[in-house]
Homo-oligomer: A and B are copies of this chain.
Amino acid sequence: MVQFATRMNNLKGSAIRELLALANKPEIISFAGGMPAPELFPVDKVRAAADAVLTEEGRIALQYTSTDGWPRLREQIAERMGVKNKIKTDAAHILMTSGSQQGLDYSARVFLNPGDVVLMESPSYLGAINAFKTCEPTFIDIPTDKDGMIMEELEKVLKTTKNVKMIYVIPDFQNPSGRTWPLERRQKFMEIINKYEIPVIEDNPYGELRYEGDFLPALKSMDTKGLVVFLGTFSKILAPGYRLGWVCADDEILQKYNFMAQAAALQASTIGMMEVSKFIDMFDLDEHVNTIRECYARRCKLMVDTMEKTFPKEVTFTRPKGGLFTWAELPEYIDTKEMAKQALAQNVAYVPGEGFFPNGGNHHCMRLNYSNMPDDRIVKGITILADVIKQNLR
């Protein structure tokens, strides 16, 4: 009888990945994944960048490189973070990862012993919960309002809870809720953090995808004590197929991530990092991001407008100003996991809300993605979903 480690008891297939497997059929209108619009991928430019890398530096691209990652790319990222997130940093404070998910995994392993407490928004990103579970922590999810995590609730928990070792937040266009923390809340959060000196994982995959309003500085830009670990990724602004993300942190913490990376993976893909770096040198990444923003802004509006028109009044949902998701709350007696089967039978997929709560419950919520489907299928899918919901009303 083969025995598995106790951490494996916490892991099961992620609801998203299972749904994605089902939702892979072309007839399915999928609001389930967090996938970019494939028709917007700058394929020709990527091909030109790949060709340039392999023509000019092929023997370097196919070889091992350092654990922290391709130096030129880390420079470009540091520069970009200065402009986009107001974070003053440099290449020496960036470690490349194989996707942001790996940054989440390293975060848990750097900070968490079994039983240690992690704080997060309620709801929070399912993939982060899953990554953290491998370290067997205790989760406390902090209540949120339309502006994200409620600071009074956070402080209440910090005052009364021992062994809080990490706080995980997504202040920009949160997954799954689509909510964004205003400036004042960010400042208040940093005040509290500086008082309690707890490491913060600031996950920022969507910050550049703002559709209205002003860009806000990252928590990391206000970090005077080296407590904030910033996670970035190319998955939403360029292409998830490369699996390239990064960790930005101060010296002491980043060294631990580097040790973890040496143990867990050695390094991210050399050829991948060099191609993305070459893309940024050859082309205008901002221009590409603008194309994405324009398309997703339209799809976002189309989805929530259609929801307003077709969903019964018992359903509430967010109107995101950026990112990839809206979050809907149905009457509490509706189990969205059960309802997902009915929706799938009519070729519409979404992610039930339950998985976004680390301690379960909240069976009446759902996450809807608007980036991956063309306009007509958004309208059609939401209209079908509205009917499915109505059939479940008491």
Contacts and interface: CB of A to CB of B under 8 A. Distances in A.
A109 interface: yes
A380 interface: no
Interface residues of A, number: 83
Given A2-B253, A62-B240, A243-B267, 18 more contacts: A1-B197, A2-B227, A4-B111, A5-B135, A12-B259, A17-B67, A17-B262, A39-B59, A43-B54, A47-B58, A50-B50, A50-B51, A99-B267, A105-B263, A131-B264, A241-B269, A242-B271, A243-B272
Contacts of A8: 110, 256, 259-260
A111 B252 CA distance: 30
A369 to B, nearest CB: 12
Contacts of A266: 17, 99, 101, 127, 243
Interface stretch (A30-38, A83-91, A386-394): A30-38
A21 B71 CA distance: 13
A116 B2 CA distance: 14
Copies per assembly:
2
Contacts of A337: none
A183 to B, nearest CB: 26
Contact of A265 (B99, B259, B270): B99
A5 B272 contact: no
Contacts of A113: 5-7
Q: Which 5 residue pairs spanning A and B have beta carbons closest together?
A: A43-B58, A241-B270, A62-B239, A47-B54, A38-B59
Q: Which of A109, A127, A263 has the most CB of B within 10 A?
A: A263
